[in-house]
């Protein structure tokens, strides 16, 4: 136990956690100086941060596995929009069936489409030896275009037209905790176990650390690289289900930039862009840092364009730190 504690205190995860706590403290101090009734540390606002961060956290867990193998997925936001459209249309067409079947059908189509697009991304990248960022840029356009075409660039309202029980997935609470946040934490825990306590996790780290040596050791590298893209797609499908429930609409324009926030959470959380090094818990802290920063700036009435600049600078700084770690 003592060895594990000492290892944690010397780890990068500990440093990221301290940075997160310092950020929270600074936002709380600044808000208390400029507002007579600060709300940042109130439980309602903290739960709101968890809710706002949940979608990014879920996508970022899948993105962590992809980046750990040396890949990247730039199509996550567009895939989420495509899944959102298909969830909405499927549920509308099944509006006369029972609540359980309606929700199950929406969930199944989201997970299936997410997995298939992830499989396509991974297979093309592996089979044709095309860098994944190029493949997923293409998929980004295809998925966005399909979503717009299928629904004719319109937004379909789902409230009152599908089962009311569907709203609980994105808006419900359990013991006061937002249900999406609970799902996100379960995905973080599952991802942590998968990465650290399974053969698949060891292979993923090995591939990112030295792909050629891993291949020469007899491991089928291509198969595992495809698997992480499928996993990433599944988690995007899950995120789309939650987002559709939260919005109560099928909107083909949502999700723009979601992949960038997910990548930012992964990099801020300490995962190397070169692959082979990173943690799921670090990704959770990274997502929380982005969520807290966005929330804090909103509470201080910072304009959206300035928020984007600040968050963009934080992402650049995280990448610079990652490069410096790589040189060391």
Task: Return the domain boundaries, the chain.
Answer: 42-257
Report residue 30: phi and psi, to 5°.
-65, -40
Is the confidence at residue 263, as pLDDT, over 90? Answer: yes
**pTM, full prediction:** 0.96
pLDDT tens digits for range 125-177: 999 999 999 999 999 999 999 999 999 999 999 999 999 999 999 999 999 99
Q: What distances in angstroms separate CA 160 from CA 155, 163, 234, 251, 311, one per listed residue? A: 15, 7, 28, 16, 37
Mean pLDDT score across all residues of the chain: 93
First to last CA, the chain: 29
Give the C-alpha separation, 109 to 37, whole Å.
Answer: 46
Looking at the chain, the whole-number percentage of residues with pLDDT higher than 90 is 82
Widest pairwise Cα distance in the chain: 64
What was the pLDDT predicted at 324?
A: 75
Confidence of residue 322 (pLDDT cuts 50, 70, 90): confident
153 CB-near residues (< 8 Å, 6+ apart):
252
Q: Regarding beta strands 249-250 and 156-157, do their DSSP bridges make them parallel or antiparallel, or are they unpaired?
A: antiparallel
Give which of 285, 288, 237 is closest to 13, Cα–Cα: 285
Which two three-digit tokens encode residue 273? 């862009």
Is the confidence at residue 328, as pLDDT, over 60? Answer: no
pLDDT tens digits for range 213-245: 999 999 999 999 999 999 999 999 999 999 999
Is the confidence at residue 5, as pLDDT, over 80? Answer: no
User: How many whole angstroms from its chain centre is CA 293?
Assistant: 17
What was the pLDDT predicted at 1?
A: 45
pLDDT tens digits for range 51-100: 999 999 999 999 999 999 999 999 999 999 999 999 999 999 997 777 88
What was the pLDDT predicted at 3?
A: 47
């Amino acid at each position: 136990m003592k060895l594990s504690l000492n290892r944690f205190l010397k780890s990068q995860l500990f440093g990221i956690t301290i940075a997160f706590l310092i950020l929270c403290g600074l936002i709380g101090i600044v808000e208390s100086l400029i507002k007579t009734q600060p709300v940042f540390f109130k439980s309602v606002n903290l739960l709101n941060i968890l809710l706002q961060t949940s979608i990014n956290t879920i996508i970022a867990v899948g993105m962590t596995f992809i980046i750990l193998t040396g890949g990247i997925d730039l199509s996550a936001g567009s895939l989420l929009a495509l899944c959102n459209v298909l969830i909405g249309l499927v549920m509308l067409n099944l509006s006369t069936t029972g609540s359980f079947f309606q929700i199950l059908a929406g969930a199944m189509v989201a997970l299936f489409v997410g997995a298939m697009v992830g499989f396509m991304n991974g297979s093309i990248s592996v089979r044709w030896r095309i860098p994944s960022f190029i493949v997923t840029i293409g998929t980004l356009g295809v998925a966005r275009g399909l979503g717009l075409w299928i629904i004719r660039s319109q937004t379909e309202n789902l409230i009152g037209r599908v089962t009311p029980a569907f709203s609980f997935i994105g808006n419900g609470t359990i013991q006061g905790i937002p249900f999406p946040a609970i799902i996100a934490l379960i995905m973080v825990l599952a991802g942590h176990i998968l990465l650290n306590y399974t053969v698949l996790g060891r292979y993923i780290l090995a591939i990112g650390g030295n792909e050629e040596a891993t291949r020469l050791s007899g491991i089928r590298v291509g198969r595992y690289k495809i698997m992480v893209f499928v996993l990433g797609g599944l988690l995007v499908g899950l995120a789309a289900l939650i987002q559709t429930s939260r919005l109560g609409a099928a909107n083909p324009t949502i999700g723009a930039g979601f992949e960038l926030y997910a990548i930012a959470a992964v990099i801020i959380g300490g995962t190397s862009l070169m692959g082979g090094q990173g943690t799921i818990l670090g990704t959770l802290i990274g997502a929380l840092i982005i969520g807290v920063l966005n929330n804090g700036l909103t509470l201080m009435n910072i304009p959206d364009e300035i928020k984007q600049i600040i968050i963009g600078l934080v992402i650049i700084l995280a990448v610079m730190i990652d490069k410096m770690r790589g040189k060391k």
